[in-house]
Chain A
Amino acid sequence: MERRTLLAVHLPFAAGQTDKPKVVGPRANYFPNVVLQTHENQSLKFYDDLVQGKIVVINFMYAECKGIGTPVTANLVKVQKALGERVGKDIFLYSITLDPEHDTPKVLKHYAGMHSIKSGWTLLTGKRADIETLRRKLGFVDSDPKVDRDRSRHIGMLRFGNEALDRWAMCPSLSAPDQIVKSILWMENPKPVPSQS
Chain B
Amino acid sequence: MSRKRKDAAGMNRRELLKTGLLTSGLTLLTSKKSFAAIEPITSQAPQPTPFVEELPISPVAEPTTAFADPPPNPSSHQRYTEFLPQKFYDLNIREALHSFHPELPPQPIWGYNGITPGPTFHSRYGEPALVRFRNNLPANHVGYGIPSIITHLHNGHTASESDGFPGDYYETGQFKDHHYPNYYAGGDEREALSTLWYHDHRMDFTSQNVYRGLAGFYLLFDEKDSGDETDPNPAAFRLPSGQFDVPLIFQDMLFDANGLQFYDQFNNNDGLLGDRYLVNGKIQPFMRVASRKYRLRLLNGSMSRFYEFFLSNGQSFIQIANDGNLLPAPIARQSIRLAPAERADVIVDFSSIVGRRSSVFLQNRLEQTSGRGPTGRILSPGTPLMRFDVDSRPMRDPSRIPDTLRELPPITTAGVTQRSWTFQRNRNGNWTVNGQIFNVTRTDAQPGQGTAEIWRLQNGFGWSHPVHIHMEEVRILTRNGQPPPAHEQGRKDVVVLSPGETVEVFLRFRDFYGKYPMHCHNIVHEDHAMMVRWEIAAPPSIS
Interface residues of A (CB under 8 A from B): 1, 3-7, 26-30, 32, 67-68, 136-145, 148, 152-157, 161, 164-176, 179, 183, 186, 189-190, 192-193, 195-197
Contacts and interface: CB of A to CB of B under 8 A. Distances in A.
A171 B205 CA distance: 11
Contact of B267 (A32, A136, A154): A136
Contact of A166 (B13, B26, B29, B441): B13
Interface core residue of B24, B70, B176, B266 (most chain A CB under 10 Å)? B266
Contacts of B372: 143
Contacts of A140: 429
Contacts of A152: 427-428
Contact of B140 (A138, A143, A189, A196): A189
A89 B135 CA distance: 31
B428 to A, nearest CB: 2
Nearest to B76: A197
Nearest to B205: A169
A82 to B, nearest CB: 15
B16 interface: yes
A156 B9 contact: no
Given A144-B37, A171-B204, A197-B76, A166 B143 contact: yes
A68 to B, nearest CB: 6
A147 to B, nearest CB: 8
B243 to A, nearest CB: 37
Interface string B406-438: 000000000000000000001111100000011
A44 to B, nearest CB: 20
Going nearest first, the 5 A-B pairs with the smallest beta carbon separation are A156-B428, A139-B266, A29-B9, A30-B9, A26-B10
A30 B32 CA distance: 10
Interface stretch (B81-89, B166-174, B286-294): B166-174
Given A3-B30, A190-B171, A169 B437 contact: no
B380 interface: no
B439 A192 contact: no
5 contacts: A152-B428, A186-B204, A189-B147, A189-B172, A197-B177
Interface string B261-282: 0000111111000000000000
Contacts, number: 162
B144 A197 contact: no
Given A156-B429, A156-B430, A143 B439 contact: no
Given A68-B428, A161-B265, A170-B528, 11 more contacts: A3-B32, A7-B22, A27-B9, A29-B7, A136-B35, A139-B265, A142-B37, A142-B269, A154-B429, A155-B428, A176-B441
Contacts of A3: 27, 30, 32
B426 A137 contact: no
B73 interface: yes
A143 B370 contact: yes
A168 B265 contact: yes
Contacts of B22: 6-7
Contacts of A164: 142
A192 B139 contact: yes
B23 interface: yes
A170 to B, nearest CB: 6
B251 to A, nearest CB: 22
B537 interface: no
Contacts of B139: 189, 192
B441 A179 contact: yes
B429 A186 contact: no
B24 A6 contact: yes
B400 interface: no
B457 interface: no
B233 to A, nearest CB: 38
A197 B73 contact: yes
B393 interface: no
Contacts of B441: 176, 179
Contact of A6 (B26, B70, B269, B427): B26
Contacts of A5: 24, 27
B142 A193 contact: no
A53 B72 CA distance: 41
B139 to A, nearest CB: 6
A165 B142 contact: yes
Contact of B428 (A67, A136, A139): A67
Contacts of B71: 197
A136 B37 CA distance: 9
Interface string B13-44: 10010000011101101101001111000000
Contacts of B36: 145
A169 B429 contact: no
A7 B24 contact: yes
Contacts of B265: 139, 161, 166, 168-169
Contacts of B174: 193, 195-196
B454 to A, nearest CB: 29
Contacts of A186: 146, 148, 204
B204 to A, nearest CB: 5
A193 B370 CA distance: 41
Interface string B132-163: 10000001111110111000000000000000
A145 B34 CA distance: 13
A15 B438 CA distance: 45
A139 B268 contact: yes
B529 interface: yes
B175 interface: yes
B92 to A, nearest CB: 13
A156 B426 contact: yes
A143 B270 contact: yes
Nearest to B172: A192
